[in-house]
Amino acid sequence: MGMHSDAVKLIEKDSKSSYADAHCHLVPEWYTKDDISEITVKAKENGVKIIINSAIDPAHYKFGLETTKHDSIFLSIGVEPTKVSDERIHEFKEFFNSNKEKIVAIGEIGLDFHWVKEPEKRTKQETHFNSLIDFAIINEKPIVVHSRGAETRAIEILKQKGVEDVLMHCFEGTEEQAREISTLSWYVTVPTSTIYRKNFQKILKSVSIDSLMLETDSPFHSLEKGQQNTPSSIPTLCRHAARILEIDEQDLAEITFNNTKTFYRI
């Protein structure tokens, strides 16, 4: 608990660095429009100049698009793997086709074998995942992948498809897989909970820094358990990650910021 409290205090420090939150969920399930206005102001004060807002429920797409009125917010849309269906994919494609130029990536999409145990449901997830990958390739958009409990299968499918622009978000696979992702020139994000979760620390140390981005996955992975996360916690994550990697904090901030810009073509 002490580590969490110290981490929160570190947010207060001003920084000359520029940061990016490569993946979060600023949607009405957790935040109001007023909340998001306050969040973006505070984030900028803390040097967080890019926020990728991921809307993964068709009911949130329009709201997500409206958040891009803030010049630091960019929209990614996907379909939550545990709730994927033909109907949701239809809604996703309709919205995407009407707003293609305002959407920086497709995701998160993917597989979730942590929550989904039934073989037939897992097979259906794979079918939908393949369909969405094809859609992303046709539309020349990068892909943000959810792969909880299904890292091996997700990587296999992506390799079979020959996808080049991939971000494995909040990746919880093996250290060997993290190294492979680097050799494929894909990207990995670690979330703010990396400061106290050893599984993410292992990924952080295994992936090439050229393949690394930082994310909050807000409102999840908070610095303090039970609290709602926001993009303002990225500088704290960067500070801790730099210590773990034994590199300069500003160097890490610059590299991860530029990786985010490159991947999302901002």
Q: What is the percentage of the chain residues whose pLDDT exceeds 70?
A: 94
CA 112, CA 109: separation in Å to the nearest integer? 10
Residue 9: is its pLDDT beyond 70?
no
Instruction: Over range 65-94, report the average pLDDT.
Output: 97
pLDDT surpassing 60 at residue 145: yes
Helix axes 198-206, 175-183, angle to 10 degrees: 30
Report whether pLDDT(11) > 90.
no
pLDDT > 90 in the chain, percent: 92
Q: What is the pLDDT of residue 54?
A: 98
Report the candidate in 3, 42, 19 with the shortest Cα–Cα distance to residue 230: 42
Instruction: Band the pLDDT of 224: cuts 50, 70, 90.
Output: confident
pTM (two decimals): 0.93
CATH superfamily of 2-264: Metal-dependent hydrolases (3.20.20.140)
The answer to whether residue 150 scores a pLDDT higher than 70 is yes
